[in-house]
Amino acid sequence: MKLAYRTIGEGQPLVILHGLFGSGDNWLTISKVLSDRHQIFLVDQRNHGRSPHSDEWTYKAMADDLYAFLQEHNLQNPILIGHSMGGKTVMQFAITYPNVARKIVVVDIAPKLYPPHHQDVLAGLHAVDLANITSRNDAEAAMATAIKEADVRQFLLKNLYRNENGQFAWRVNLPLITQKIEEIGVTQTSPTPVQIPALFVRGALSKYIKDADLALIQNLFPNSELKTIEGAGHWVQAEKPAEFVQAVQPFLYE
């Protein structure tokens, strides 16, 4: 599958993968800061952004997509960064394709099982009657019946666009994601430890990586370290961009 992407900067290749309901554009602010020493590829994963939709939606498939992307662009020894869903893709890639990436950064996600917990988001998206809304404000008002947080609604509305017929549509594959939402939280496992250098970054206010998860992370990625960003929730890089960059730069440059 040929993935949509944009690139910025020159230097060591750095590929960034977004989270659920996101796109590569979510990382534009961070990429501009890191592009002084890296050629950054902001990739839309399958069923997201401007990348193709597919009925197959597993981390193995998304890891295979990433491998094909690296081969297509002849990216040697890349560094991979992934947030949430993207972080699980990056972990799966390191398991499936050892010795391809130079190092990985996993943002606010662990290789453990997460039960489905996006019911409100899905309800809000399905509340939007795409055939009858006339503006983004109409869409947000419909979403507000299920999604109370204004910032979450604004994030999701980045997926709303007008198609070639001038009709409103979602860039994400909403029917497929709704059907297979359990896939987003599956466990990453490996018969042997993965030796790639790995940095895990979590938000202190987030519940996605708990202290009890550290042993699991260390067992799977023994050459890993964890950094915690104070005052940040799950969207670490968006909520505390300067602190996030300060946390990852030493790892990227060493």
Active site residue 234: yes
Catalytic one of 23, 31, 84, 224 = 84
Which residue shows structure tokens 């946390």? 247
CA distance 21 to 113: 19
Strands (E), 10-159: 12-17, 38-43, 79-83, 103-107
**pLDDT band (50, 70, 90) for residue 110:** very high
Q: Which helix (H) or strand (E) covers residue 161, if one does?
A: strand 160-162
In whole angstroms, give the CA distance from residue 194 to residue 107.
17
Global pTM value: 0.96
Q: What is the pLDDT of residues 181-238, one digit of tens each?
A: 999 999 999 999 999 999 999 999 999 999 999 999 999 999 999 999 999 999 999 9
Report CA-CA distances (Å) from 92 to 58, 81, 109, 110, 183.
Answer: 10, 12, 12, 11, 13
Q: Summarize the confidence of residues 24-46 as an average pLDDT.
A: 96
User: 111 CB contacts (<8 Å, ≥6 apart)?
Assistant: 88, 91, 187, 188, 189, 216, 217, 220
pLDDT of 133 reads 96
47-82 pLDDT, tens digit per residue, is 999 999 999 999 999 999 999 999 999 999 999 999
Domain ranges for the chain: 5-113+186-253, 119-181
Element (H, E) at 7: strand 5-8
Mean pLDDT of 40-45: 98
Question: In this predicted model, what pLDDT tens digit does every residue of 237-252 receive, in sequence order?
Answer: 999 999 999 999 999 9
> What residues pair up with 202 in beta bridges, in sequence order?
228
Question: For residue 216, what are the contacts with CB-CB under 8 A and spacing of at least 6?
Answer: 110, 111, 112
CB 167 within 8 A of CB 131: yes
CA angle 22, 111, 50 (to 5 degrees): 20
Judge whether residue 254 has pLDDT over 90.
no
What class has domain 5-113+186-253? Answer: alpha beta
Average pLDDT, the chain: 97
